[in-house]
Structure formats: structure tokens, C-alpha cells
Structure 1
Amino acid sequence: MIDGLMKDVIDPVWEAMARPLVRARLTPNQVTALGLALIVLVSTLYLWHGSHWVYGLTLAVAFVFDALDGAVARQRGMSSRLGGYFDAMVDRYQELIVLAAIAWVTGLWALALLAFSGAMLTSYAKARAAIETPVSNTDWPDLFERLERIVYLCVLLVLAGLVPWAWLLPAGLAVYAALCHLTALQRARRAARILRAADRDGPRH
């Protein structure tokens, strides 16, 4: 939702931050792969140091770097369907790594599973609709998309590490999971509306 509603504000920031990577001649896929490597690195360090606020801050830096692959692709004229697919797959693995790391450190495996499944269903709801009929990749301004999930998790981790409230992280993960599943249902509702319209236009081939 943030990315869709504030695209004109956010995109110039990504473009400016991506220029050093363009000058370094990195390809979009290399930026995507490096973003994944950074997520793995900071998550592995989190298993060692166990500090929620340190993980939240380093995770924010890693996710900012990861977000630059699209800007690099545009500036270098290297946008491709394969690159988009690779980026989407890496995004899913990043969320798995982050939530698994949180579960490992805190023992909140059930909440992490609920959170991850909600995030995956949010993605699948649109992807599955696109298999049935062509859909726009941008006109889905839903409640809790990936950017919102990233910001939420980073802020939650920082707060959980700074305030003496043991309930904050599990409660925050529960809210995260609920918002993910609510967004998945929101997307499913929109997909149903699109598919009904497609069915009225003609039979499936």
C-alpha cells in the first residue's frame, strides 16, 4: 500500500541510492543476490548475538540495499521478466529466513509459521489470479504488502530490544500474522471479482 500510494515519492529515493551501484556496473540480478546474502548474514549474526534491536537495524539496512535492484534495472535498461521472477523468488526466501531466525532466537515457532503462511498467501493470491487471467501488477494497493511487512518487522524488533516488555514481540508477531492473513483475504476478494468479470467475458481457454 505504501509503495503504491507513495510511488512518486519513494521511487526517486531508490533511483538516487542506486546510482553508485550503477556506476559500479552491478547488474540487477547481482544486486538481488547481494541483498539475499546480506539478509542471510545479518540473520546468522542474530542467531549469535540475540539482540532484537541490533537485528532490526541491520535488517533495515539489508532490506534497503535489496530494494535497489529495480532502480538499477531501470537505470541500466536491464529490466526483464526473468529478473522480476528472480527478485520475487528471492523476496519469499528472505521472509522465510527472517521469520525463521526470529523463531529460532525467541522460540515463537507457531507465530512465525502463521506470519510466514500469511505472507505467502498474500503473494499467492495475486499470482494465482494471474494464471487464470491477465492482471495488473500495480493496481493491488492492499493493506499489508511487502514494504509494510518489512517496516513493521524492523520497527517491532527495535522496540522489542529497547523496552522491557516481554509480551511485545509475541504480540507484535500475532498482529503481523493477522494483518498478513487479512491482506490475503483482501486480495482473494479482489481476485474473485476480477475472475468473475473474466468469466462473463468468455469461457476459459
Structure 2
Amino acid sequence: MVVDSMRAKVDPMLLPLAMKFSRFSPDFISYLAIIFAALTGIFYFLSTPYFLLGAFISLVLSSLFDALDGRVARLRKISSKRGDLLDHVFDRYADIFIILGITFSIYGNVALGLAAIVGVMLTSYMGTQSQALGLKRNYSGILGRGDRLVFMLVAIILQIIITGSVYVSGLRLDVSTVLLIWFAIGGNITAVMRFLDSYRSLS
């Protein structure tokens, strides 16, 4: 929520970069975003320090291109519902690719990974469903997409530095599993918060 609330301040900062990329189609930039997201998942799955560094770099690039495609479309005055649909579908696949990479890495946990995916998907669904019902797109809650990005970037760096783990009630905990737990809990809490916010607005 903290990062998502800064969108208005970040947008003008991306304008010069969007102008440089304006010669490319927004759809092409969206494809770059999903490709780098898939690479992030693959690099995290491989999990050596060098691959984790690669995951960090590819995640930054994926997020950058994801932020640019819509801005380039608006800059070129070619924004469309089709482009918005493509962007949202790619965003969900990007989330899944990255979380699956973490889940099936040597640091991951399948049950926690599935719970994290449920939380992330429901968070996004509740945000867009609000708009589908005639309200504004809902960015409320404690764990928006921008927040997840920051947590993932920090987690990758910490995972490179902190390679050990501890066991709590038979569950192995390391940086990556803690990240999955937070995505599962924070994501589902955010989904509920968005549901309640939209529900109250409709009543």
C-alpha cells in the first residue's frame, strides 16, 4: 500500500524514459516485461548466488518495462482496452512465474507457495473487480503489487547474504519461505480489505 500510494509521484519521474521508449509499441514493452518476469522465476529456481543476482536484475527490468508500457501508450495516444487487458493478464502470469520460481527453489515450500499465489491472485482480482462494478480500481490494503516488488528485491539480496535456515515446529524458515508466508498472509488480508472497501462503497 505504501509503494502503490506513491504512483502519482513516480509517474512524472518515468516520463523521460517513456519518451525514449516511445518508438516501441506498448505491446512489445509488455512482452519484454513478461519475458524478464519469467527469467526472474527461472533464476530464482536455480538459486546460486549468481543466479539470484540475475533474478534481482531481471526483476528490476521486468518491473521497469511493466511501468513503461502504459505510459508509452498514453504518450503516443494509443491507449486501448485491449492493451489494458494484455497488461493485466501479463501481470498475473508474471506474479505466478516469479512465485513458482521461489516455491520450487532450494529455499521454497510448495504449500506456502500455493498459499502465496492464492493471496496474490485474490489481491489483484479484488482490485480490478472493483473497477468492473463501476468503482475506481482499488489499490488499498497492506500488500499491493508495488509493495511486493520491494519485498522481493530486498528478499533476493538478503537470500544471497543469509544462506542459513532455522526450523520452527518442523518448518524450515529462511528468507524465501518468510517472503512466501508474508505474501500468503498479507495478500489474503489485502484481498479481504479490498472486498470490504468495495462492498461498503456499493451499499
Q: Deviations over 1:17-73 (max 9, x none)?
A: 222211xx2111111011111222343344345333442333123222222111111
Q: Deviations over 1:53-96 (max 9, x none)?
A: 44233312322222211111111111111111110010000000
Greater RCO, 1 or 2 (C-alpha within 8 Å, sep 6+): 1
AA aligned to 2:147 is E
AA aligned to 2:103 is A
Correspondence 1:12-23 to 2 at 5 A: 12-22=12-22
The answer to whether 1:192 aligns with 2:199 is yes
The 3 A distance-change label for structure 1 pair 175 and 47 is closer
Q: Could you state the TM-score of these two structures normalised by the residue count of structure 1?
A: 0.84
Overall identity of the aligned pairs, in %: 27
Pair member with larger Rg: 1
What is the total number of aligned residue pairs between the two structures? Answer: 192
Question: Paired residue for 2:188?
Answer: 181
Correspondence 1:97-116 to 2 at 5 A: 97-106=97-106, 107-116=108-117
Q: When you count helix as a share of all residues, which structure comes out higher?
A: 1
Distance of 1:17 and 1:88 partners within structure 2: 21
Give secondary structure in 1 for the equivalent of 2:21. Answer: helix
Question: Paired residue for 1:34?
Answer: 32
Question: Paired residue for 2:170?
Answer: none
The answer to whether 1:70 aligns with 2:70 is yes
Correspondence 1:1-205 to 2 at 5 A: 1-2=1-2, 4-22=4-22, 25-48=23-46, 50-51=48-49, 52-106=52-106, 107-131=108-132, 133-137=133-137, 140-166=139-165, 167-196=174-203
Structure 1 position 105, deviation (Å): 1.1
For structure 1, the residue ranges without an aligned partner over 5 or more in a row are: 197-205
Structure 1 position 6, deviation (Å): 1.9
Q: Could you state the TM-score of these two structures normalised by the residue count of structure 2?
A: 0.85
For structure 2, the residue ranges without an aligned partner over 5 or more in a row are: 166-173
Distance of 1:81 and 1:183 partners within structure 2: 26
